[in-house]
Amino acid sequence: MSQRQGAKTQGLSLKVAWQGIAWKKVQRHVFRLQKRIYRAAQREDVRTVHKLQKLLVKSWYARLLAVRRITQDNRGKHTAGIDGAKTLTPPQRWRLANEIHLDGTAAALRRIWIPKRGSRTEKRPLGIPTQTDRARQTLVRQAWEPEWEAKLAPHTYGFRPGRSCHDAIGAIFTAIRFRPQHALKLDMAKCFDRIDHQALLAKVQAPPRIRRQLKAWLKAGILEDGHLSPTTAGTPQGGSCSPLLALIALHGMDQAITRVYPHARVIASADDGVVLHEERQVLEHCQEVLKTWLAEMGLSLNEAKSRIYHTLEGDQPGCELLGFDIRQYRVSTYQSGKGPGGHGRLGFKTLSKPAKVKVKDHLTALGRTCGDGPTTTASA
């Protein structure tokens, strides 16, 4: 048999091996390990958490699942890093699962620019890792996520499994439905780009191998138009670990406020959020507390978008948050919402509905999509 025929036969056998993987069994195995990590983190048993995390990143099943997620399940699977690899064949996926190890190295990220959501002119940067680094990041995220799910505040909704911005909107609605309140709208200025590396590493209590790998990712650098720029701050958007790292960086923000004002309520979704309280003066002080706390992480509030408003009173009650308009309206008795337990009438009703600008953007996007397809006649 020639060398070419041997390689072809091996590739065919690897393809058959990849297609024959029992994915339900793989997912069950990884999930069981993640559940053990979650329970150990709840008990604050750091030693067991680290032991199980090391076991998971070495697991063959976890590596298989990480490769599947970046090459088949991820929406950005066709965007190449500096390695130029967009798609992998089943034999290449099998080999990648064999090769991914946390060796403390990382390739530079490829810089691309995409339109910023809600803006026709602004663009935001993405840092696209190589296929190998994507697989490594997904592998580490599988080990980290259950630990941090046990640690993160229950009213934090963004970038978490089984949660969405709609859950955050629902939590705000529930918090104000019986009583109008003042609210401090929070918006972090360039959150992903400015996170301080040392402050972030101080929060991440991970096994040494994972910690060294994280340092390598943070310092990997950005390649744009053939020029390599060092990364001194931030977690570039584009990697699978970046959203989780942002959550870790912002962990504790709610405690900074509730330590001073126990009755204040913080509801957050990634780098957006709201602080609720009945008194405006309390929120003004909360804003100063947040500025000090965020500065320690290298972050700051976007002054143009962060403001205090009232959900019912004032010239412009309510606000737009996470693509929804949330406000209260004074109405007649029969249109009014009922009080707690269905007793009495409140004299107002609370509504959350898609923001007009977001509806307009969505219709514009639909128009572009429909315009690209075949024209349909009225008779059709």
CATH number of the CATH domain containing 358: 3.30.70
Identify whether 362 is part of a domain.
yes
Q: What is the number of domains present in the chain?
A: 1
At residue 16, the pLDDT reads: 85
The C-alpha R_g of the chain, in whole angstroms, comes to 24
Question: Does the pLDDT at position 359 exceed 90?
Answer: no
The SS3 call for residue 200 is helix
315 lies in some domain: yes
**DSSP label at residue 72:** I
Spatial CA neighbour of 297 closest among 235, 216, 231: 235
pLDDT on residue 142: 97
- Considering only residues 2 and 216, tell me which one the structure prediction assigns the higher pLDDT: 216
Over 60: is that where the pLDDT of 9 sits?
no
Residue 32 lies in a domain: no
Residue 230 lies in a domain: no
Confidence band for 374, pLDDT divided at 50, 70 and 90: very low
- Summarize the confidence of residues 80-105 as an average pLDDT: 90
* Residue pair 324/355 in contact by the 8 Å Cβ criterion: yes
Write out the DSSP string of 297-355: TT--B-TTT--EEESSSSSS-SEEETTEEEEEEE--TTTSPB-GGG-SB-SEEEEEEE-
Average pLDDT over residues 117-138: 84
* C-alpha to C-alpha distance for 353 and 370, rounded to whole angstroms: 25
Residue 271 lies in a domain: yes
- Quick check: 377 pLDDT over 50? no
Give the separation between CA 183 and CA 310, rounded to whole angstroms.
Answer: 6
For helices 90-99 and 131-151, give the axis angle rounded to 10 degrees: 60
Residue 29 has pLDDT above 80, yes or no: yes
197 vs 202: CA distance, rounded Å = 9
Mean pLDDT is lowest, of 52-61, 134-143, 225-234, for 225-234
- DSSP one-letter code for 11: H
- The token duo for 135 is 């697989």
Residue 339 has pLDDT above 80, yes or no: no
Predicted confidence (pLDDT) per residue in 208-232, tens digit: 999 999 999 999 999 988 899 998 9
Sign of CA dihedral 152, 157, 163, 168: positive
Listed residue (129, 128, 136, 130) closest to 97, CA to CA: 136
Cite the DSSP H helix spans in the chain: 3-19, 23-42, 46-58, 60-68, 90-99, 131-151, 165-176, 191-194, 197-203, 208-218, 242-250, 253-258, 280-296, 356-372
- Residue 277: per-residue pLDDT: 93
Q: Residue 273 falls within a domain, yes or no?
A: yes
Nearest alpha-carbon partner for 217 in 199, 193, 234, 194: 234
Structure confidence at residue 375 (pLDDT):
43
Segment 242-301, tens digit of pLDDT: 999 999 999 999 999 999 999 999 999 988 999 999 999 999 999 999 999 999 999 999
Structure confidence at residue 200 (pLDDT): 94
pLDDT for res 2: 46
Containing structural domain, residue 351: 171-189+248-369
Q: Are 136 and 209 in contact (CB under 8 A)?
A: no
pLDDT at position 331, please? 83
Sequence-separated (6 or more) residues with CB below 8 Å from residue 361: 118
The SS3 call for residue 164 is coil
Asked if residue 281 belongs to a domain, the reply is: yes
Amino acid at residue number 273: G
Residue 348 covered by a domain: yes
Higher pLDDT pick, 43 / 362: 43
Q: Which residue has the higher pLDDT, 323 or 95?
A: 95
